[in-house]
Structure 1
Amino acid sequence: MVAAVMVTGGVPAMAAPAAVACTVTYQITNEWSTGFGATATIRNDGDALNGWNLTWTFPDGQRVTQGWNGTFSQTGAVVSVTNPDWARTIPSGGSAQVGFNGSKGAQNRPPTDFAVNGVACTGPNQSPSVALTAPTAGSTYTLPATVPLAATAQDSDGTVAKVDFFAGDQLIATDTSAPFTGSWTPTAGDHPITARATDNRGAATTSAPVMVKVLAGPAVLASPSAVSVRQGQKATFDVSLATAPSQPVTVTIARTGSADLTVSPETLTFTGTAKQTVTVSSAANGGELATATFTASAPGHSPASVTVKEIDPSTSDFSKAFLDQYNKIKDPASGYFRRFGDLLVPYHSVETLMVEAPDHGHQTTSEAFSYYLWLEASYGRVTGDWAPFKSAWASMEKFIIPAKADQPTNDKYNASKPATYAPEHPRMDRYPAVLDSSVAVGSDPIAAELKSAYGSDDVYGMHWLLDVDNTYGFGRCGDGTTAPSYINTYQRGSSESVWETIPQPSCDTFKHGGPNGFLDLFTKDSSYAKQWKYTNAPDADARAVQVALLAQQWATAQGKGSQIASEVGKAAKMGDYLRYAMFDKYFKRIGNCVGASSCPAGSGKSSDHYLMSWYYAWGGATDTSAGWAWRIGDSASHQGYQNPLAAYALSNVPALKPLSATGQQDWAKSLDRQMELLQWLQSADGGLAGGVTNSWEGQYGTPPAGTPTFYGMFYDPHPVWRDPPSNRWFGFQVWGLERTAALYRMTGDARAKKILDKWVPWALANTTTGTNFEIPADLEWTGAPDTWNPTSPGANANLRVRVVNKNQDVGVAASYAKVLLNYAAKSGHAQAKATGEALLTSLLSHQDSLGIATPETRTDYNRFDDVYNASTGEGPYVPPGWTGKMPNGDQIAQGATFLSMRSGFRNDPQWPKVQSYLDGGPAPTFTYHRFWAQAEIATAFALHAEIFG
């Protein structure tokens, strides 16, 4: 039996210098009827110690019988341990561990009064909490203006010494006593406002940023900022005032540029802020395509400009729809991006109150970056301008591919011992998972060749999640301020939904969370070290490779391939590292891998399943003198993550050939293996079932009798997670099959055609087009596939799928249209083409000023205030006795809710709708503008123009 208890507190035995600050972790490592073994780990949270004495008092008459790593003595219940000569010093932030065996009676409660050199180990100084209460998000001010500033701040183990207010990096006010207030005389522009609280011991916390707009004066607004119009036809844009005028205001619209473009009306009168529409007319003169800028201005108001470009009159409706959608997405006023210098970072959604895979709308994902690349590649095909594509790759490389400084100890990685085994568990209350070094892990066969090929120990892959605005306050490697910030959420097995996650920094320096940061929520070890760790979503990296293939073909056809050769080469490099997603999590042998101890370690490529698994991950110590780093693959592969087009590109296209010794041949085998998997998972109805795993329940367990296999791996109807079931979402069908259909269109792959020939009729039978279109939403599965026989595949007669309900998900509809259009272009399937076009036309019926969207009701938002339920295993789980804090002071402990750990949601402008629902009102309805969905729509329009326009 192993029990771990974190205890702090007590009364100091003697006075000591204030520089001593410590935390002690006491862990019972073994226990029997009359005795036990334990360790006590000192973490030095103060100045460096030169000589130390650890004391504690046993509460139940325990006696130390044998000790090590220190000189033990015991008087009554009081134990004293003095450092050995060889371990006199503990540096600031360092640790020392003593161990002992002892005798006990009926009880064996842990001590509660640890002290070092007479100073009670009360733990590190807890950072203060702070929340900005003024100004509010979205506020607009007109110069000259005075902006009120206010914040609330508390400190649980001291006092708040001051609160500083910042506009970006500029200090604009300071207050040293509550209530913390100030004022600011701003300059014009968009400003992120934050409050930073500093406590009496110097710890500081920065609030989530609040964006405010400051106008140079009364202003005219125009949107979108760019418009495309067919030569000889018309287009529109909107004009409004930023603030309501005290008397009517006349706005005049003037042109610079070609006289072939005119507007009507040329003057507008405003008495309020309501938008008015302006029509742009293009002259039908057949001349060169023209450009003009229209500037809307009024006395005493800042002007606004719209750039209008003529496009060829023969441009298809969908090609124009692409440009219209692109202009909306890239319009700075739309809010899809945050600008960092010359680079843009896409948000997950324009709206901030958003909980799904990311738990906040202004986070972003590697998925969003891959769609950003696709959007700009399509723009390059349409316009011949590849600068935006290059900028998108530069942004991805700077902000979501960890730099050397973010993964500093890869040179310590030992490929013969990639990571220490820890089992996954089907319930979160089995966490933290115990690290078990006795379980053999395989060797990593690609690390050396990757280093040889690219001259670096570092991994070139995207981490999956960024906090773009640093909303949670982790900052970069604990600095609390840098944005974007690498973060993570999911960590605890298949039952952990987004509603049960605990946000954590990807670089854990123990500044936030508990005494061991967030590490001991997830894994149990004898001691913990500050570390960095990243998780890659292979679906996103594979999409980036897929987009690079498209961009390379399009640019080459324009004679501009050299312009993006560098980015295409980097895509090949990313694909080389993406092979880590092909390996069993602990590099164990593929096939019939049952029993963590009995399943043999892999060698060479015997641990390679050649599929796109759910993730790969890598990490290491932040201390560059520490001698360790780790890498893992994943044993579970979902049908929706497979990308045979990326595998084709990396194995057959010279410009995308990986530089490593075996990369190209691995991807060639992966192409075949992925196509086999999709065929194996196809139901009798046509839909694709979930996936496969080499490690049942993530712990190399024994699957139910009769579970079918694929190359010895076990069928799983819902791989990776169960809440909600992972293959319930129709979106995974179309995400995966889009690239399968593109492979078929581009290469004529007969295996892809066979799968699509069966899938497309099933999907069409469950689709209604028109303004109120309906496509499948949730799927329900019964039965299982036949065990895979490569030479004689089964018919899967017992594997069935049912469409449970339908919806109007605009992003999924666009993905679905891509499948149909790619398939129709090669097969000539008339109904597929007609339905794909009809879906795109249906999407155009749902346009708004930001893009294309439909309302959705979020009944799952009743989980904001769920607490952990031990009987169902649902709700945020925090182990007994574990306590910690988010950077803003939100408590993490038993009884925590999703909302209590993210209290900033209460300040969101949309929160009252959710609070009303929690109070018993109706479920709230939102109209969300997800970046991936809007880019998917735009690129679906562009695809139609490419293959049919």
Structure 2
Amino acid sequence: MTRRTTALTAAAVMMIGGVPAVAAPLAVACTVTYEVTNEWNNGFGATATIRNDGDVLNGWNLTWTFPDGQKVTQGWNGNFSQTGAVVSVTNPDWARTIQTGGTAQVGFNGSKGSANRPPTDFAVNGVACTGPNQPPSVALTAPATGGTYTLPATIPLGATAQDSDGTIAKVDFYAGDQLIATDTSAPFSGSWTTAPAGDHSITARATDNRGAVTTSAPAGVKVLAGPAVLATPSTLTVRQGQTATFEVSLATAPSQPVTVTIGRSGSADLTVTPTSLTFSSAAKQTVTVTSANNGGDLATATFTASATGHTPASVAVREISASTSDFSKAFLDQYAKIKDPASGYFRNFGGLLVPYHSVETLMVEAPDHGHQTTSEAFSYYLWLEASYGRHTGDWAPFKSAWASMEKFIIPAKADQPTNDKYNASKPATYAPEHPRMDGYPAVLDANVPVGSDPIAAELKSAYGTDDIYGMHWLLDVDNTYGFGRCGDGTTAPSYINTYQRGSSESVWETIPQPSCDTFKHGGPNGFLDLFTKDASYAKQWKYTNAPDADARVVQVALLAQQWATAQGNVGQISSEIGKAAKMGDYLRYAMFDKYFKRIGNCTSPSSCPGGTGKSSAHYLMSWYYAWGGATDTSAGWAWRIGDGASHQGYQNPLAAYALSNVPALKPLSASGQQDWTTSLNRQMELLQWLQSADGGLAGGVTNSWEGHYGTPPAGTPTFYGMYYDAHPVWRDPPSNRWFGFQVWGLERTAALYRMTGDARAKKILDKWVTWALANTTTGTNFQIPADLEWTGAPDTWNATNPGANANLRVRVATKNQDVGIAASYAKVLLNYAAKSGHAQAKATGEALLTALLSHQDNLGIATPETRADYNRFDDVYNASNGEGPYVPPGWTGRMPNGDQIAQGASFLSMRSMFRNDPQWPKVQSYLNGGPVPTFTYHRFWAQAEIATAFSLHTELFG
């Protein structure tokens, strides 16, 4: 696929009395985007899009010259003619005028020979389009991330940079905000010789010949005060009477052999061998810690590895009882790996850690890059630290995790500045969702009735603010896309979003966009007119909450409150527990229909009335809630929406129990506790209603069929007047196909059963566990369900006499070794077994945890996985099936790095940074017809889920 973008600025010539006269200079400008959309042996298809960047065009003639003898054989949306290599396209009668900022697109099929280079001489009405300035691209090649240097340090700097429509004027290298080197010619390089000791983030900024600037992804390096000894991990546990190991190395290779001695402070019950190591290189050597088998009190010691002229390194070792389970030790070992800075799970922002979605960067699933992060990851970060607090009594890491969450993924006042303009009687203007992306942009329709927001006033009264206390779901941790904060282009982390266009939009079809859209990137209206159609657009901010994650935060707060209370330490985290209750109060927005319409029997947008009071509350955990507003505080406005679609996997009855029954987690609002009491019962009813005859839980329910309050097929079962949906919210892939949604949701149900003995939860679990165990094999090569296939539907819900759902069936289609889901599954089984005494559930849960221990590596626990779906990297939109990234006709825009967004764009063409990823070659090989690529991923949530599953076993079974 080839592109060329062009523009002009010229003076218009007009006739006065038959005498040519030059008019006052006019700002005449155009942009022509040329796209080869399809290509075959001797032919191709292409489009050319004119964007009028100047005065109104009243009649136009687009011309170009083919460089390789191409011929137009069929054209549309214009009157085509060709003389030799020169093509002329004039406007059709119905598209004569192009308004300022407007576009017109022509398309054609053509013949070609062996070459098919794009034209380069586009002109409109005889005036050449010379091209707007496109930002350069830049990638840092040195230093490498994770590099370690010693003072006096010389840190090598290198970058590659290109400019598609000009030249690179210079590349500046920065350490944070400090300029450390500049180079004006390729190969761009330099060195930093004045680096102080500490951690540094290095970036390269390329400037082109017309002033456009692009910043690379950062590389984190460490500068030590001098030659240094390194030791990993920095903390270690060893069973009394047994051994454990750590590794020692030098930060840099020595010029002559260096002797490192291992000294001890602390108990003599802990010893090491050897006590002296000789290094002639930087290669790691292993040290063994031995615990005395004397049955005495549990000991601690710190071992310090030191060498003359080198900064020493220490390892804190703690004895644990010889009877301590493998899983207790496994938690501590897994925790140490996750928190080790060298592992790469976090980015450090001034002492606060932000977890990446994965250590690896080439990662596409729900996030579309591994170094993004999600509210889900933050919720698991809290769980990890709460479990550490339970094991050690140290709650400082838990408090730090909460502080990081509050600073980076809960929008601050400055990030949501116009909530005080929100009108609760008119929460938002209706816009329909569409089953296919080519139905977008969705037209805003103020004539469709919406309800009133019944909780805004009481939340403001309770907390003294108009702002929302909830997490936005997605962060670009390294500012990889370059949106920055509110368009500044540089601030990291930055709030971003992807999904916006109905149930058919998979990650492969998303268009990344900033959460604060100031029109600096994208098209003339930023990214807004890709999604909604309106008469005009205002710069605005907007955030989307994933209720599953916020509810998990509440769940973790409940666990932390119980554990800290048992230790006598609850006062240390009382502030965070109170904030969890506050988050739960705002989480009630997930209980309401998207437009606060009445719940039940909605079959058209106009006939479904707006709700009053709580008539718009379904009391379930829906897929999202969202809020936004104008950036202009003087003429601002704001909006809020809930969601009518609820997935079984998002329900969290344990969080509902905590917010309705635990005094420390009681919301401050007038009706919050009562709403959560109702929600607990409603969620349990939903799970019972969705349980298949086999035992698995079916998809969910919606108050808005297909997202536009449509009429569902005749006979669709209902739940309190809402309609059964086998795969709520998204269809690519079907949302209830993944076994993970079974175990994520039922872990909470099982924990509720263990804590409270809830008979409804037990009834659901009795049936589900039997089904799941029948589809599970254990051992090192364990196999658990992966993909599920569904047939039939539940019976319409009758609360007094529930049906048996005899026609609702599920089949396990595939199995796998997903380590994160195996840990989630083990949690379900262990919670259930602890209360019910179910021996097979306990044994299988333990067997899964044991199997995970056989898949350890230096970063955690992982298994290889093939990614056949990576063949979608270069998919383009296919109108016949609606698949592929869809861009409306005539819409063009740019990502901050210059990647073009237009018809014919692919996932990859809008994310060209993947081509620079170290793992890209095997994806490119696959796209070229090679084998399906295999990756070993270390997802943060999965590693934390594994660690906390180990911890759960020690809590329940000693």
TM-score using structure 2 length: 0.86
| Counterpart in the other structure of 2:261 | 252
What letter is aligned with 1:324? Answer: D
Per-residue Cα deviation, 1:306-362 (whole angstroms, up to 9, x for no partner): 211122333222112111111111111111111111211111111111111111111
Distance in structure 1 (CA, Å) of the matches to 2:187 and 2:323: 64
What letter is aligned with 2:174? Answer: F
Shift of 1:924: 1.4
Shift of 1:56: 2.5
Q: Is the 8 A contact 1:137 1:909 kept in 2?
A: no
Q: In the alignment, is residue 878 of structure 1 matched against residue 865 of structure 2?
A: no
Q: Is the 8 A contact 2:56 2:97 kept in 1?
A: no
Distance 1:546 1:157, change over 3 A: same
Per-residue Cα deviation, 1:504-535 (whole angstroms, up to 9, x for no partner): 11111111111111111111111111111000
Distance 1:123 1:330, change over 3 A: farther
Per-residue Cα deviation, 1:59-100 (whole angstroms, up to 9, x for no partner): 299xxxxxxxxxxxxxxxxxxxxxxxxxxxxxxxxxxxxxxx
Distance 1:789 1:162, change over 3 A: same
| Counterpart in the other structure of 1:543 | 552
| Counterpart in the other structure of 1:69 | none
Distance 1:332 1:10, change over 3 A: closer
1:505-584 aligned at under 5 Å gives the runs 505-584=514-593
Determine helix, strand or coil for the equivalent of 2:842: helix
Q: In the alignment, is residue 597 of structure 1 matched against residue 606 of structure 2?
A: yes
Distance in structure 2 (CA, Å) of the matches to 1:922 and 1:838: 33
| Counterpart in the other structure of 1:414 | 423
Match of 2:139 among 117, 128, 132: 132
Q: Is the 8 A contact 1:129 1:889 kept in 2?
A: yes
Aligned-residue CA RMSD (Å): 2.9
Q: In the alignment, is residue 676 of structure 1 matched against residue 693 of structure 2?
A: no
Q: Is the 8 A contact 1:538 1:616 kept in 2?
A: yes
Q: In the alignment, is residue 638 of structure 1 matched against residue 647 of structure 2?
A: yes
Distance in structure 2 (CA, Å) of the matches to 1:351 and 1:147: 24
Distance in structure 2 (CA, Å) of the matches to 1:836 and 1:280: 31
What letter is aligned with 1:197? Answer: A
Determine helix, strand or coil for the equivalent of 2:293: coil
Q: Is the 8 A contact 2:6 2:130 kept in 1?
A: no
| Counterpart in the other structure of 1:864 | 873
Distance in structure 1 (CA, Å) of the matches to 2:663 and 2:685: 25
Shift of 1:587: 0.7
| Counterpart in the other structure of 1:56 | 56
Match of 1:221 among 220, 223, 230: 230
Aligned pair count?
872
Q: Is the 8 A contact 2:148 2:251 kept in 1?
A: no
Q: In the alignment, is residue 607 of structure 1 matched against residue 594 of structure 2?
A: no
| Counterpart in the other structure of 2:755 | 746
Per-residue Cα deviation, 1:3-34 (whole angstroms, up to 9, x for no partner): xxx9986744499999989999xxxxxxxxxx
| Counterpart in the other structure of 1:626 | 635
What letter is aligned with 2:893? Answer: G
Distance 1:639 1:431, change over 3 A: same
Distance in structure 1 (CA, Å) of the matches to 2:589 and 2:424: 12
Determine helix, strand or coil for the equivalent of 1:107: helix
What letter is aligned with 2:880? Answer: S
Distance in structure 1 (CA, Å) of the matches to 2:24 and 2:223: 50
Q: In the alignment, is residue 184 of structure 1 matched against residue 192 of structure 2?
A: yes
Distance 1:576 1:16, change over 3 A: farther
Q: Is the 8 A contact 2:578 2:664 kept in 1?
A: yes
Q: In the alignment, is residue 424 of structure 1 matched against residue 427 of structure 2?
A: no
What letter is aligned with 2:273? Answer: S
| Counterpart in the other structure of 2:344 | 335
Q: Is the 8 A contact 2:504 2:730 kept in 1?
A: yes
Distance in structure 2 (CA, Å) of the matches to 1:621 and 1:156: 35
Q: In the alignment, is residue 696 of structure 1 matched against residue 705 of structure 2?
A: yes
Shift of 1:214: 4.8
Distance 1:484 1:19, change over 3 A: farther
Q: Is the 8 A contact 2:12 2:23 kept in 1?
A: no
What letter is aligned with 2:96? Answer: R
1:845-856 aligned at under 5 Å gives the runs 845-856=854-865
Distance 1:616 1:196, change over 3 A: same
Q: Is the 8 A contact 2:367 2:474 kept in 1?
A: yes
Q: Is the 8 A contact 1:263 1:278 kept in 2?
A: yes
Q: Which moved more, 1:466-475 or 1:282-291?
A: 282-291
Q: Is the 8 A contact 2:437 2:504 kept in 1?
A: yes
Q: Which moved more, 1:908-917 or 1:367-376?
A: 908-917
Shift of 1:694: 0.6
Match of 1:793 among 767, 784, 802: 802
Q: Which moved more, 1:143-152 or 1:755-764?
A: 143-152
Q: Is the 8 A contact 1:408 1:624 kept in 2?
A: yes
What letter is aligned with 2:518? Answer: T
Per-residue Cα deviation, 1:26-63 (whole angstroms, up to 9, x for no partner): xxxxxxxxxxxxxxxx99x9xxxxxxxx95342299xx
Q: Is the 8 A contact 1:23 1:515 kept in 2?
A: no
| Counterpart in the other structure of 1:111 | 98
Match of 1:709 among 702, 709, 718: 718
Q: Is the 8 A contact 1:846 1:854 kept in 2?
A: yes
Per-residue Cα deviation, 1:134-168 (whole angstroms, up to 9, x for no partner): 31543736445544434455667887654322012
Q: Which moved more, 1:904-913 or 1:150-159?
A: 150-159
Match of 1:399 among 378, 401, 408: 408
Match of 2:769 among 752, 755, 760: 760
Distance in structure 2 (CA, Å) of the matches to 1:114 and 1:649: 53
Match of 1:165 among 169, 173, 176: 173
| Counterpart in the other structure of 1:470 | 479
Shift of 1:606: 0.8
Distance in structure 2 (CA, Å) of the matches to 1:457 and 1:581: 18
Per-residue Cα deviation, 1:419-470 (whole angstroms, up to 9, x for no partner): 1111111111111111111111111010000000000000000000111111
Per-residue Cα deviation, 1:745-789 (whole angstroms, up to 9, x for no partner): 000000000000100000000111111111111111011111111
Distance in structure 1 (CA, Å) of the matches to 2:487 and 2:25: 24
Distance in structure 1 (CA, Å) of the matches to 2:238 and 2:251: 26
How much identity, in percent, do the aligned residues show? 84
What letter is aligned with 1:313? Answer: A
Q: Is the 8 A contact 1:742 1:823 kept in 2?
A: yes
Determine helix, strand or coil for the equivalent of 1:449: helix
Distance in structure 2 (CA, Å) of the matches to 1:105 and 1:852: 62
TM-score using structure 1 length: 0.87
| Counterpart in the other structure of 2:217 | 208
Structure 2 gap ranges (5+): 14-21, 32-50, 62-90, 103-126
Per-residue Cα deviation, 1:274-323 (whole angstroms, up to 9, x for no partner): 54332111223444432222223445655432211122333222112111
What letter is aligned with 2:743? Answer: V
Per-residue Cα deviation, 1:367-417 (whole angstroms, up to 9, x for no partner): 011011111111111111111111111111111000000000000000011
What letter is aligned with 1:341? Answer: G
Match of 1:802 among 811, 818, 822: 811
Distance in structure 2 (CA, Å) of the matches to 1:526 and 1:161: 41
| Counterpart in the other structure of 1:86 | none
Distance in structure 1 (CA, Å) of the matches to 2:23 and 2:196: 51
Determine helix, strand or coil for the equivalent of 2:138: strand
Q: Is the 8 A contact 1:9 1:114 kept in 2?
A: no
Per-residue Cα deviation, 1:653-693 (whole angstroms, up to 9, x for no partner): 11111111111111000000000000000000000001011
Distance 1:439 1:656, change over 3 A: same
Distance in structure 1 (CA, Å) of the matches to 2:165 and 2:948: 53
Q: In the alignment, is residue 491 of structure 1 matched against residue 500 of structure 2?
A: yes
Q: Which moved more, 1:556-565 or 1:250-259?
A: 250-259
Per-residue Cα deviation, 1:572-620 (whole angstroms, up to 9, x for no partner): 0000000000011111111111111111111111110000000000000
Q: Is the 8 A contact 1:21 1:124 kept in 2?
A: no
What letter is aligned with 2:137? Answer: V
What letter is aligned with 2:147? Answer: T
Distance in structure 1 (CA, Å) of the matches to 2:377 and 2:804: 37
Distance 1:207 1:125, change over 3 A: farther
Determine helix, strand or coil for the equivalent of 2:56: strand
Per-residue Cα deviation, 1:454-488 (whole angstroms, up to 9, x for no partner): 00000000000111111111111111111111111
